[in-house]
Structure 1
Amino acid sequence: MDIEIQPVTELPKEIAELEKQAVSEGFSFVGRMIEEFNNGTNKFDQQGEFLLMAYDGKKLIACGGLNQQRSEDTHGKHIGRVRRFYVLPQYRKYGVGKQLLQHLEKKAVSHFSALCLNTDTQSAAHFYQKMNYVHVANHPSYNYFKYLINSLGSVE
């Protein structure tokens, strides 16, 4: 499978199909991403932020973005927040999520020393744990965390 991952500054029209599939699984966060992007609340355009789309040929199969984590939660550290990460069900278990997350982490390392995220599904929790995210109990805004390693092999 030849997956192409692209940063975007505008939402592709195919995002509506991704949203439709996400809704059928009970997930509303792709729709929230579209709404926030269109109303300007979150365009993934602050320093270090970006939005990625993954394609299989011309078919949009996944998305994922990175925002700055709110500063009151970070105690002065530069932490990014993985947001709106979604892979079409038929592309799961084929490494698409892994490729997308690794691409996101590689882009993030120049701006952030760590990443955090929140998930409430067991399958996503298992995926993030396999990707070396650590469960954080009782944090008010995220439940998984990972320190990033720079190209010299040290923790930022």
Structure 2
Amino acid sequence: MDILIQQVDQLPSQIQDLVIASEKEGFHFIQKLVDEFQQGTNQFNRYGEFLLVAFDGQKLVACGGLNIQMSDDEEANKAEAKYKIGRVRRFYVLPEYRRSGLARKLLQELEKRAKPNFSALCLFTGTKVAAQFYQKQNYVFVENHSNYNYFKYLI
């Protein structure tokens, strides 16, 4: 498997393939990625943010982005202006590419690119399988947090 992971400024035309596959699994966050990108509400283009995609030849097989994690608190937002915490968003791998090491490779690339601007990453997942994956990547479960449920310091 010769997978190419790259950063993109625009959604690839094959993004609809990920939308269709994710919707079949009951996940709506890839469609949300497309909607927010088209509306301009989240284009992963603020300082330190980015969107990664993975291709197997011409086939789009995965994506994952990083946003600045903002607090609900106005004062905390000002304090976080140095962008210390990043949020892993819209992370998805096609089912037939899971358990191949691709998700780990994509997450490691995301973390490597995050390190210059962020001291920690957070994310939210609602599935047990995803939770197990993130725990294996040294993310720690955080109880009772309104914005995320997994956290990892970048060292």
Q: What are structure 2's unaligned runs of at least 5 residues?
A: none
Please give the TM-score of this superposition, normalised by the length of structure 1: 0.93
Displacement of 1:72 in angstroms is 4.1
User: Which secondary structure does the structure 1 equivalent of 2:86 belong to?
Assistant: strand
- Aligned counterpart, 1:145: 151
- Aligned counterpart, 1:5: 5
Please give the TM-score of this superposition, normalised by the length of structure 2: 0.93
User: Which secondary structure does the structure 2 equivalent of 1:99 belong to?
Assistant: helix
- Aligned counterpart, 2:40: 40
Whether 1:101 and 2:116 are equivalent positions in the alignment is no
- Aligned counterpart, 2:122: 116
Counterparts of 1:86 and 1:132, CA distance in 2: 18
- Aligned counterpart, 1:15: 15
Displacement of 1:57 in angstroms is 1.2
- Aligned counterpart, 1:27: 27
Counterparts of 1:72 and 1:18, CA distance in 2: 31
Counterparts of 2:24 and 2:122, CA distance in 1: 26
CA RMSD of aligned residues (A): 1.3
Counterparts of 2:153 and 2:8, CA distance in 1: 25
Structure 2 counterparts to residues 71-86 of structure 1, below 5 A: 71-72=71-72, 75=76, 76-77=79-80, 78-86=84-92
Counterparts of 1:17 and 1:54, CA distance in 2: 13
Displacement of 1:27 in angstroms is 0.1
Identity in percent: 59
Displacement of 1:48 in angstroms is 0.3
- Cα 1:87–1:116 change in 2 (3 A) is same
Is the helix fraction higher in 1 or 2? 2
- Aligned counterpart, 1:54: 54
Q: What are structure 1's unaligned runs of at least 5 residues?
A: 150-156
1:34-53 CA-to-partner distances (Å, cap 9, x unmatched) read 00000100000000000000
Counterparts of 2:106 and 2:30, CA distance in 1: 16
Counterparts of 1:116 and 1:71, CA distance in 2: 12
